[in-house]
Amino acid sequence: MTRSSLPCVFRFAPSPNGYLHLGHAYSALLNFEMAQASGGRFLLRVEDIDTERCRPEFEQALSEDLHWLGLTWEEPPRRQSEHFSDYAAALDQLAARNLLYPCFCSRSEIISSVAPRPDWPRDPDGSPLYPGTCRLLTPAERESRLAAGRPAALRIDMAKALAAVGRTLTWREYGSSSAPRELDAQPAHWGDCVLARKDIAASYHIAVVLDDAIQGVTEVVRGEDLLMATSLHRLLQELLDLASPCYRHHGLVRDAQGQKLSKSLRAQSLRDLRREGISPAELRARLHMPQPCLAH
């Protein structure tokens, strides 16, 4: 059976570190309606690797909000916090190929080290690219620091990873169109990024790549703020011998000032809108929901 004959698999993957807002509703509805239009499957994933900030009451609230919108999904949802062993196994694969190294630097140390260079390059999220301080440590120095109990993040050695792949990677991007484009991945823009933090055993990047592969996701529909992250995700997929989904990066829901809605900026939550008496139909009208557009 070929991939084209299999049902499409979509997913919505919120983090329960706050209440859902209109931006979440837009992405969730797009995924759900595209799954229905294609005769495919719709999955819910709870991205709760940050166990300090994610809380059960937020997970319960997001489930209630999505049901209120009329969404249903296959039970139970996959919770990242229950699958750290999957991420550890993937990191072990990369470490076995000498593509990872421990980093003992703090964020403030990194910022201080590049401060004298105002033109120092930044990654797509706006953070200074890591200058490679710990990559230059000798094996003996690394072992000594680890033996002393120094906390360490795990960073990918981008130069080695790109050499291991040895070719330009691409992905199929639909955006809001029914016609795909082949985009070139540029993972080098992320530098030696963190794949496991000091306080969390997996980063978003390694977790989302593994989760999509394990769940058989074929269509990743998410906000355009994650478009650049796809370059890094394609690199990890290639290194771990994982299939690459098709991608659709949609426009973001923004406030009156043009800023994207976010929990950190206290965007009005779906929970509050429900209390004000808005109906799911009124919410859809406010979002100007487009008709689903699929092509394979």
Tell me the average pLDDT of the chain.
92
Question: Would you tell me how many other CB atoms lie within 10 Å of the CB of residue 283?
Answer: 19
Structure confidence at residue 264 (pLDDT)? 66
Structure confidence at residue 3 (pLDDT)? 54
What is the CA 185 to chain-centroid distance, rounded?
Answer: 16
pLDDT digits (tens, 9 = 90+) for 190-221: 999 999 999 999 999 999 999 999 999 999 99
Residues 183, 241: Cα–Cα separation, whole Å:
19
Residues 263, 261: Cα–Cα separation, whole Å:
7
pTM listed for this prediction: 0.91
Structure token pair of residue 97? 């190929």
- Does the pLDDT at position 106 exceed 70? yes
- Determine contact, residues 71/34, Cβ cutoff 8 Å: no
Confidence band, pLDDT 50/70/90 cuts, at residue 294:
very low
Task: Give the residue numbers spanning the domain of 139.
Answer: 3-287
- Domain assignment present for 152: yes
- Domain assignment present for 117: yes
Cα R_g (the chain), whole angstroms: 20
- Domain assignment present for 296: no
**pLDDT over 70 for what percent of the chain?**
94
CATH at 177: 3.40.50.620
- Domain assignment present for 30: yes
What is the CA 221 to chain-centroid distance, rounded?
Answer: 11
- Domain assignment present for 292: no
- Domain assignment present for 295: no
- Domain assignment present for 293: no
Q: Which residue has the higher pLDDT, 206 or 260?
A: 206
Structure confidence at residue 2 (pLDDT)? 47
What is the CA 194 to chain-centroid distance, rounded?
Answer: 13
Amino acid at 239: L
Question: Would you tell me how many other CB atoms lie within 10 Å of the CB of residue 221?
Answer: 24
Residues 155, 132: Cα–Cα separation, whole Å:
10
Instruction: Return the H-helix or E-strand segment holding 154.
Output: strand 153-156
- Residue 286: φ, ψ to 5°: -65, -35
Of 140, 129, 135, nearest to 103 (Cα)? Answer: 135
Residues 171, 294: Cα–Cα separation, whole Å:
17
Residues 6, 9: Cα–Cα separation, whole Å:
9
Give 106-110's long-range contacts (Cβ < 8 A, gap of 24+): 109/133
pLDDT digits (tens, 9 = 90+) for 268-286: 899 999 999 999 999 998 8
If one counts the domains in the chain, the total is 1
- Domain assignment present for 294: no
The alpha carbon torsion through 123, 221, 236, 117 (nearest 10 deg) reads 0
117 exposed, middle or buried (CB, 10 Å; 0-12, 13-18, 19+)?
Answer: exposed
Most distant pair of Cα atoms in the chain: their distance: 63
Amino acid at 206: I
- Determine contact, residues 48/58, Cβ cutoff 8 Å: no
